[in-house]
Each structure stands twice: as structure tokens, then as C-alpha cells.
Amino acid sequence: MLRRKCKNDEEIVAVIAHELGHWKLNHTMYSFIAMQILTFLQFGGYTLVRNSTDLFRSFGFDTQPVLIGLIQFQHAIIPIQHLVSFGFNLVRRSFEFQADAFAKKLGYGAALRAGLVKLQEENLSAMNADPWYSAYHYSHPPLVERLSAIDESEKKED
């Protein structure tokens, strides 16, 4: 897909440099470890709900059916999941800015800008969403924010 849109090899290399930035900065490993910890905590939380006889009794159950425990846990965890999701999105967005900075540091700032614009056109995603909406719903910052960050780093170098 990128090859069809980007006719300039430098833009392709810039986007690959961005992806290599994720690897070099261990973003994939951090995300993997965070997800493993979250999964462990969810199993622990479910175990607490599953073993709570008082919780089942408060909902009118004399026994502790597994399915009912799962439903109770799913409903109880919804607010926490929203907070965790928001936190992960903030971290992922910072990872994107760091990977962009990595590609820029390698000398691909202008090519990365052009490549991001072409990818944006291909994906037809929101170009400039409300910052709070974007921070909550999007794992990647909007194009305008990413281009501004690249421009800002260029101004600091001058």
C-alpha cells in the first residue's frame, strides 16, 4: 500500500525509519509487557469476584455460578477499563512522537512529513480532531499534531 502511494523511495525509507524507531526504543516490548501485566491483573480481579460469596449473595445467588461471576466482573471492570484504555492511548501516542523524532534524527524529517501526508490521504482518517476526543479514541496522534511536532523539533535545531 505504501509503495503504491509513495513514489519517492526516500518517503518509504522515512516511514521504515519511523517503524525502526519503535523497535530501537523498545516500544513493542514495553507494550507487550504492559499487556501481560494487565492480563494478569484481570485474572486476579476475576478470581476475587469469583471467590466473593458476599458479592453473589448481594445479587440474590446462593451458589456461585461461573458465568454470573464473569458477568459481574465484566460490569465492575468497565470504568477501570476506560481509564486504562485512555492511559494506554496516551503512552502509544507518545511512542508515535518518539518514533517520528527517531526518523527525523536520522535525517528523514521532510520525507517523513511527505510520507505521513500520503498515508493520511490513503487511510482517510481524521486530520484534526478535537484533542481530548483524539487522546481518548485514537492510538495515533492526528496528522496535524505529528507534523507540528516535527516542525517544532526543526525550529529547535535552528
Tell me which residue has cell 476526543.
133
Distance of alpha carbon 135 from alpha carbon 145, whole angstroms: 11
Q: Give the contacts of 118 (CB within 8 A, at least 6 positions apart).
A: 5, 6, 11
- Active-site residues, by number, are 19, 100
What is 26-73 written as a DSSP string?
Answer: THHHHHHHHHHHHHHHHHHHHHHHHT-HHHHHHTT-SS--HHHHHHHH
Say if residue 97 is exposed, middle or buried (CB neighbours under 10 Å; 0-12, 13-18, 19+). middle
